[in-house]
Amino acid sequence: MRTPPKSIPDFLPASGIRVDTPVAHYFKFDSAGKVSRYQNFANSGAFVAAMHATPVGTH
């Protein structure tokens, strides 16, 4: 069984820019009650925009 991915941070460590977007987690459980599937949903457009943004104070 694969290890579930780590949660997406609310900021991009390389730039230090905060990303304010909702995140949803989807868990599917098998008959024994163990997690059989995990998906993390986020607004990828918000993260792409943050990657191309310039941090405040770097001009």
Which pLDDT tens digit goes with each residue over 1-35?
Answer: 555 555 555 556 666 777 777 788 899 999 999 99
Give the pair of three-digit tokens for residue 48: 């792409």
Q: What is the DSSP letter of 1?
A: -
pLDDT digits (tens, 9 = 90+) for 32-41: 999 999 998 8
Q: Do the domain assignments include residue 1?
A: no
Q: Do the domain assignments include residue 57?
A: no
Pairing of strands 35-42, 17-18: unpaired
What secondary structure does DSSP assign to 4-56, as a single string? PPPPPPSEETTTTEE----EEEEEEE-TTS-EEEEEEEE-HHHHHHHHHSPPT
Q: Which domain holds residue 15?
A: 11-52
Give the pair of three-digit tokens for residue 45: 């457009």
Q: Do the domain assignments include residue 58?
A: no
